[in-house]
């Protein structure tokens, strides 16, 4: 049914237009359209001031690039086969770069909507201008410190702690700041003067199209984080953009396919984004994921060493607007399982408000996480091997004690010996040489 809707919408709306972007010292906005439907999303600075002397061509081209990744959220409602870019400039090589991002980042969208298409035909991109300007950097040679995107979960907290010796030169970066993200930054020792970011507003017209039955689904939000954090780092003079994406993000969700909910957190995207910055923007700031050498298992093991964050961190997408754990989704259950390998039940209940592993209503979510024959939940969760190891260790911790219901059921089945991940180190990473020791010492 959705494939029919996909074909119907593409036929009725054959063209998506990126008309323009508008830049001020307080933020920026974009103008997109699908036929008579107009979209004008807005971004506003939080704690960022455009410095005197900044290369305006550079500033505007990064904003244009943010628009290129922002547009896919609007394009997907009708999936027009032709995208016309009437502002900025794109070479043929850049057009292929953007198509690759859209294709990989929309893999889940296509899969879950039952859409069958291919790389060549799902979209063509046309751009009237091909001549890109050269840029200068007023901070060249003087950039220092790291911009650290903070999402409110355990991963970015571990990055904040690993980089605490650089804290005086660092900034926390937030998109649509909320209590959880600011509380995590404050707990790490960052005051409001060292927290910057953006408020990002979705055009209500897109929500109307979705309500009318147009298409909806997952888009590569972490690519939004990449480009917007790059702009923030350019404007604030930071040398590094230190992400918190781990090796585990490279594992897909559907066996035998490339569908990956975390595509824009993967090493492949990180490599591509670094190439984009190096070829078409500036050599600094340098974008990398500090936690790429580690697995989610190692991050959880490190995170539990920082109990002062237990009351403030949140990783639940469903509960994010209210800064709560919903305790009814795969992400909440996944984090609960990982922490259950290291923490006792009383501590877990104090964090989440309930014992998720003692609730048999979560059996379906539990099976989707641990059973390799099922699609892995479309959330930012770790690998099957990590989940198996965490469940094994969680059972060991509770030997001789009352076992939560789902763990008791799991123990009654044969799962074999889990892989030992304590010594894992992914060498396919871009962590700067001066920082790689933090990962090797912290294992």
Which of 274, 275, 272, 283 shows the shortest CA–CA distance to 136?
A: 283
Task: Name the one residue in this structure whose structure tokens are 């585990």.
Answer: 248
Please tell me whether residues 229 and 94 are part of one structural domain: yes
Inside any domain, residue 178: no
Enclosing H/E stretch for 72: helix 56-75
Q: For position 24, what pLDDT does the model report?
A: 87
Domain co-membership, 67 together with 202: yes
In a domain, 86, yes or no: yes
Q: Which pLDDT belongs to residue 54?
A: 96
Name the nearest CA neighbour of 174 among 161, 190, 164, 165: 190
pLDDT tens digits along 164-207: 999 999 999 999 999 999 999 999 999 999 999 999 999 999 99
Give the pairing of strands 15-24 and 27-34.
Answer: antiparallel
Residues near 99 by beta carbon (within 8 Å), at least 6 away in sequence? 119, 123, 125
Q: Please, what's the b/e burial string for 423-440 (b: 16 or more CB within 10 A of its CB; e: otherwise)? A: ebebeebbbeeebeebbe
Cβ atoms of residues 283 and 121 within 8 Å: no
Do residues 367 and 283 share a domain? no
Structural domain includes residue 186 = no
Question: What's the pLDDT score for residue 443?
Answer: 57
Give pLDDT tens digits for 221-259.
999 999 999 999 999 999 999 999 999 999 999 988 889
Residues 335, 214 within the same domain: no
The model's pTM is 0.96
Please give the backbone phi and psi of residue 421, each rounded to the nearest 5 degrees, phi first. Answer: -105, 5
Position 351 in a domain: yes
> What is the total count of domains within the chain?
2
Domain assignment of residue 153, yes or no: no
Nearest to 315 by CA among 304, 327, 331: 331
Distance CA 236, CA 234 (A): 6
For residue 133, give the 3-state DSSP assignment.
coil
Question: Is residue 213 in a domain?
Answer: yes
Same domain, 400 and 257: no
In tens, the pLDDT along 20-46 reads 999 988 999 999 999 999 999 999 999
What is the rounded CA–CA span in Å between residue 295 and residue 292? Answer: 8
Asked if residue 156 belongs to a domain, the reply is no
Residues 125, 244 within the same domain: yes
Helix axes 267-280, 221-236, angle to 10 degrees: 40
* Distance in angstroms (rounded) separating the CA atoms of residues 248 and 381: 8
Work out the number of other CB atoms within 10 angstroms of the CB of residue 186.
Answer: 15
Residue that finishes a domain, picked among 289, 304, 326: 289
Helix (H) or strand (E) holding 249: none
Encoded tokens for 275: 């190439």
**Same domain flag for 321 and 256:** no
Assess whether 97 and 8 both reside in one domain.
yes
* Claim to verify: residue 342 and residue 397 sit in the same structural domain: yes
Q: What is the pLDDT of residues 134-145, one digit of tens each?
A: 899 999 999 999
Residue 304 in domain: no
CB 270 within 8 A of CB 277: no
Sign, Cα dihedral of 86, 116, 103, 335? positive
Among 289, 324, 350, residue at a domain's last position: 289
Residue with the two structure tokens 């990982």? 338
Domain, as residue range, for 404: 316-411
Looking at the structure, do residues 284 and 368 belong to the same domain, yes or no?
Answer: no
């Amino acid at each position: 049914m959705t494939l029919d809707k996909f074909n119907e919408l593409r036929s009725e709306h054959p063209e998506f237009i990126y008309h323009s972007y508008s830049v001020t010292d307080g933020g920026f906005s974009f103008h997109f359209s699908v036929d008579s439907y107009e979209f004008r999303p807005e971004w506003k600075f939080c704690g960022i001031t455009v410095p005197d002397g900044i290369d305006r061509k550079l500033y505007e081209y990064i904003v244009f690039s943010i628009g290129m990744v922002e547009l896919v959220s609007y394009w997907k409602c009708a999936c027009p086969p032709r995208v016309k870019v009437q502002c900025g400039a794109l070479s043929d090589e850049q057009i292929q770069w953007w198509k690759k991002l859209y294709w990989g980042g929309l893999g889940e969208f296509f899969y879950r909507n039952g859409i069958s298409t291919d790389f060549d035909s799902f979209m063509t991109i046309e751009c009237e201008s091909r001549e890109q300007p050269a840029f200068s950097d007023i901070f060249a040679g003087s950039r220092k410190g790291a911009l650290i995107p903070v999402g409110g979960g355990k991963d970015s907290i571990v990055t904040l702690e690993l980089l605490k010796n650089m804290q005086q030169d660092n900034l926390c970066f937030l998109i649509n700041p909320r209590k959880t993200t600011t509380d995590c930054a404050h707990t790490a020792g960052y005051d409001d003067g060292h927290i910057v970011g953006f408020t990002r507003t979705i055009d209500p017209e897109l929500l109307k199209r979705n309500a009318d039955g147009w298409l909806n689904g997952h888009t590569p939000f972490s690519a939004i984080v990449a480009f917007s954090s790059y702009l923030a780092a350019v404007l604030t003079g930071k040398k590094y953009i230190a992400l918190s994406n781990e090796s585990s993000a490279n594992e897909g969700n559907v066996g035998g396919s490339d569908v990956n909910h975390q595509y824009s957190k993967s090493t492949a995207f990180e490599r591509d984004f670094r190439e984009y910055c190096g070829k078409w923007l500036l050599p600094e700031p340098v974008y990398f994921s500090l936690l790429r050498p580690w697995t989610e298992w190692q991050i959880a093991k490190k995170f539990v060493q920082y109990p002062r964050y237990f009351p403030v961190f949140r990783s639940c997408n469903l509960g994010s607007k209210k800064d709560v754990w919903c305790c009814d989704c795969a992400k909440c259950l996944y984090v609960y399982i990982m922490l259950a390998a290291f923490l006792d039940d009383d501590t877990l209940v104090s964090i989440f408000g309930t014992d998720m592993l003692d609730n048999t209503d979560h059996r379906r979510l539990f099976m989707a996480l641990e059973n390799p024959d099922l699609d892995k939940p479309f959330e930012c969760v770790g690998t099957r091997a990590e989940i198996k190891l965490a469940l094994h260790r969680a059972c060991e911790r509770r030997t001789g004690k009352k076992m939560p219901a789902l763990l008791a059921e799991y123990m009654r089945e044969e799962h074999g010996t889990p892989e030992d991940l304590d010594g894992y180190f992914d060498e396919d990473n871009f962590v700067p040489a001066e920082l790689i020791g933090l990962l090797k010492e912290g294992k």
